[in-house]
Amino acid sequence: MRREVIRQGLIYACEEMGAHLRRSAFSPNIREREDFSCAVYDAEGELVAQAEHIPVHLGSMRWAVRAVLEEFDPGEMEPGDAFLVNDPYRGGTHLPDLTVVAPIFHEGEPLGFAAVRAHHADVGGKAPGSMPHDAEDVYAEGLRIPPVRLAEGGEPREELLRLVEANSRGGRERRYDLMAQLSAALLGCERVGELVEEHGVEAFREACEWAKEYAERRMRRAIERLPDGEYHGADRLEGDGVSDGDVWIKVTVSVEGDEITVDFSGTSEQVDGPVNAPLPVTYSAVFFVLKAALDPGTPASEGAYRPIRVRAPEGTVVNPRPPAPVCAGNVETSQRIVDAVLDALRGAIPDLPAHSHGSMNNVAIGGPDFAYYETIGGGAGASPERDGESAVHVYLTNTANTPVEHVEREYPIRILEYTVRRGSGGAGERRGGDGIVRRYLALERCRVTVLGDRVERGPRGAEGGEPGAPAEYLVERADGSVERLGSKDSTVLEPGDMLVVKTAGGGGYGRVGKA
């Protein structure tokens, strides 16, 4: 009983970290859209608890904690210290995701780490939002930060804050959001310390090990229920932002007893454009889909990962070599990985739902002194039991809506439409969910970048269901002309121009009229 009390206390500490960050953050992307994640790790950097935040963050953040441990000796850390990292090749995902890691102490002994990852609206680079669709190396995407010391004794290092602020549009937001992250991480340290004070160090360590072992047992039992064998799946991205050729994700899922291997051999080589997914992102996508498909109730901890092996050949789009650009790998390639693994699992689990809209529909709008970023939901795929949900985020994103009032109050943008895209879900015995329409009116000259997918081909249906309607990205100029953007594209908006985003519907399930 005490072990479960401690485990739940750790989860609550993560939830409280998130609530604190939400209340303290400066930017709408963190404060309103809640694009952040919080977790607690043990002294070896193994996950013991997390809040229900952003799946693509949570499955990959353990790599950032380990990067800090590789760079800094825990024996030389002090209470109130904190570390910062965003390097995609040192445990990060893409550069806008800044991760703060703070050591947890009890009577001078390091017991673990509290980690807070948040997506900042801009960290420099060639385009506002630090998500350039045509980046050809990671340097074009913004400020790259290896593991560095952010704070000592609870006080942030002013020179580091100045460095980040000077290298980003709207740098004041970066400063205060980072301070909010630091405060949330230190609060997590405090709450875990209170648990240790109440239950004792040995009980805390025992509970952490038990939590990992329990999650491992559950995941192994879930895998054992699958028939042994090899299952194959594939999906493709519509271009890489630099060229228009398809980028393939190919996967073989091998089930043997209570272990599972996901092998990406045959996947496209890394590409010139920014759809390359760093290895932590690939792991995150795999862990997400297996947990969701096999046993959603499995507690999120290191133990759940132990029966899973991922083979991602180096130099491919799912494990690129530096300095390949990666800003869209975290947000778009991760979604295609999910669909490819889901399709492979259909050979073992026949009732999986149809494809969802499968894109984060990233929109970045900005100028010299501001940057606005958000992702937009769409239609979920239908399942044998029910129609797909409309106007929702799916797969690896779990963010909230950015209220229109906050957009219009803080940026030179007006939102003239925010509606459900009726009829965009795929037909079937069960209909796919509908997408979203969102219109942005520019009040001053700015650059807009879209990073999406599913423009050429709508999300596939299942068991004879029809595909959802493809996404559309349009620019309606003030002179009445209309331009169609690609799924990964950028243009300049003049005052009076309007960006129109129409997200894809989900695929249908079963044939229309099936008895």
- Per the structure, how many domains does the chain have? 2
Are 290 and 340 spatial neighbours (Cβ–Cβ below 8 Å)?
no
**Separation of alpha carbons 49 and 9, rounded Å:** 9
Are 11 and 51 spatial neighbours (Cβ–Cβ below 8 Å)?
yes
| Residue 53 pLDDT | 87
| Residue 70 pLDDT | 97
The Cβ-side half-sphere exposure at 99, using a 13 Å CA radius, reads: 32
The three-state (H, E, C) secondary structure of 433-481, written as one string: CCEEEEEEEECCCEEEEEECCCCCCCCCCECCCCCCCCCEEEEECCCCC
264 assigned to some structural domain:
no
Structure tokens at 239: 């271009």
**Separation of alpha carbons 385 and 2, rounded Å:** 39
Q: What is the dihedral of CA 399, 171, 134, 67, to 10 degrees?
A: -70
| Residue 438 pLDDT | 98
269 assigned to some structural domain:
no
Structure tokens at 359: 């894109």
142 assigned to some structural domain:
yes
Output the CA torsion sign for 6, 8, 14, 18. negative
In this structure, the strands spanning 482-485 and 362-367 are unpaired
Are 367 and 314 spatial neighbours (Cβ–Cβ below 8 Å)?
no
Q: Which of the listed residues 215, 239, 254 is the one where a domain comes to its end?
A: 215
| Residue 514 pLDDT | 61
| Residue 108 pLDDT | 87
In this structure, the strands spanning 308-311 and 259-263 are parallel
Instruction: Give every CB contact of residue 251 below 8 A, 6+ residues apart in sequence.
Output: 232, 233, 234, 262, 263, 264, 267, 337, 340, 341, 344
AA identity, residue 478: A
Are 343 and 354 spatial neighbours (Cβ–Cβ below 8 Å)?
no
| Full DSSP string of 123-179 | --SSSTTS--TT--SGGGG-----SEEEEETTEE-HHHHHHHHHTSTTHHHHHHHHH
Count of CB atoms situated within 10 Å of the CB of 463: 19
338 assigned to some structural domain:
no
Structure tokens at 161: 């804050």
296 assigned to some structural domain:
no
Each residue's pLDDT tens digit in the chain (515 positions)?
A: 799 999 999 999 999 999 999 999 999 999 999 999 999 999 999 999 999 888 888 789 999 999 999 999 999 999 999 999 999 999 999 999 999 999 999 988 899 999 999 999 999 999 999 999 999 999 999 999 999 999 999 999 999 999 999 999 999 999 999 999 999 999 999 999 999 999 999 999 999 999 999 999 999 999 999 999 999 999 999 999 999 999 999 999 999 999 999 999 999 999 999 999 999 999 999 999 999 999 999 998 999 999 999 999 999 999 999 999 999 999 999 999 999 999 999 999 989 999 999 999 999 999 999 999 999 999 999 999 999 999 999 998 889 889 999 999 999 999 999 999 999 999 999 999 999 999 999 999 999 999 999 999 999 999 999 999 999 999 999 999 999 999 999 999 999 999 999 999 999 999 987 64
Q: Which of the listed residues 155, 184, 215 is the one where a domain comes to its end?
A: 215
Q: Which long-range contacts (CB under 8 A, 24 or more apart) does 201-208 make?
A: 201/106, 201/109, 201/111, 203/2, 203/3, 203/6, 204/6, 204/111, 205/42, 205/111, 206/3, 207/2, 207/3, 207/4, 207/6, 207/7, 207/10, 208/6, 208/10, 208/42, 208/48, 208/112
Bridge partner residues of 152 (DSSP): 155
Are 280 and 91 spatial neighbours (Cβ–Cβ below 8 Å)?
yes
Structure tokens at 348: 């073992």
314 assigned to some structural domain:
no
Do 26 and 173 fall into the same domain?
yes
AA identity, residue 456: E
Output the CA torsion sign for 456, 459, 463, 464. negative
305 assigned to some structural domain:
no
- H-helix or E-strand containing 408? helix 404-410
Supply the range of the domain harboring residue 467. 353-515
Among the listed residues 86, 102, 94, the one whose alpha carbon sits nearest the alpha carbon of residue 17? 102
Structure tokens at 142: 């913004």
Among the listed residues 512, 504, 471, the one whose alpha carbon sits nearest the alpha carbon of residue 488? 471
**Separation of alpha carbons 424 and 428, rounded Å:** 12
| Full DSSP string of 315-351 | TBTTBPPTT---TTIIIIIHHHHHHHHHHHHTTT-TT
Output the CA torsion sign for 166, 170, 172, 178. negative
510 assigned to some structural domain:
yes
Q: Which of the listed residues 215, 246, 270 is the one where a domain comes to its end?
A: 215
What DSSP character marks residue 362? E
Number of H helices, E strands in the chain: 11, 20
